[in-house]
Amino acid sequence: RKPEPLKIMISGAPASGKGTQCELITKKYGLVHIAAGDLLRAEVAAGSENGRRAKEYMEKGKLVPNEIVVMMVKERLLQSDSQENGWLLDGYPRSLSQATALKELGFQPDLFILLEVPEEILVERVVGRRLDPVTGRIYHLKYSPPETEEIATRLTQRFDDTEDKVKLRLCTHHQNVESVLSMYEDIMVKVNGNVSKEDVFAQIDSALTKLLEEKNATLKSV
């Protein structure tokens, strides 16, 4: 019998490195990456009514209302690939009400990863971040520069990646973070996010390896 697929949440302040680590985690563990921010940006790009409303909140660094976000994430979690391969939920839940809604729907993670990065580092990370629209990869002009000139010329910047806007996003983060953390205290692993991305991943990788071993051991003992 195969063990149940992994169900992981990753959390941390804006630009703490969630998306970067999710690229590395999915590459090794094959989980389905579900990022609330990416789902919302896709809706904005599609020009839907929900996207138009969501953008108003995102531009102010505020949480998008639950009636838009909760359904979006729930539908993605219920798709067969997430059920079969396991999921990696990024940037969700971000409030007590989202955490409660998820629990009521029966989505309980095995592990909650918290990336810890000092606040003074975050603004520089946001301002230097660039995205490759072709591959979806995340770059940083200083810490993770593009590999080729061709990639460099096509990089884009997110509309909420300015110094002013990240300060608003940080403020929203501080208002909500404690209530979310309190829901997952017993399965939380705190990771130092202020080292190179490879060294951050090494910490996460060891927590996930341990978790898989525990799951396999439980399976053998039943």
Question: Residues in the site for ligand AP5, rule: CB under 6 A?
Answer: 12, 14-20, 36-37, 40, 57-58, 61-64, 69, 91-92, 94, 98, 125, 128-129, 138-140, 143-144, 169, 196-197, 200
Toward ligand AP5, which CB reaches closer, 76 or 125?
A: 125
The one catalytic residue among 7, 53, 62, 158: 158
CA distance 35 to 99: 15
Nearest to 171 by CA among 81, 63, 75, 20: 63
Q: Of 170 and 208, which CB lies nearer to ligand AP5 in the complex structure?
A: 170
130 is an active site residue: no
Catalytically annotated residue among 41, 55, 129, 165: 129
d(CA 129, CA 138): 7
Helix residue ranges, H only, 5-118 = 18-29, 36-46, 49-59, 66-78, 80-85, 96-104
- The CB-of-132 to ligand AP5 minimum distance in angstroms stands at 11
Q: How far is the CB of 125 from ligand AP5 (least distance, A)?
A: 4
Active site residue 103: no
Neighbours of 200 (CB within 10 A): 22
Minimum distance of ligand AP5 from residue 222's CB (angstroms) = 35
What angle do helix axes 96-104 and 66-78 make, rounded to 10 degrees? 40
Residues with catalytic annotation?
Answer: 18, 94, 129, 158, 169
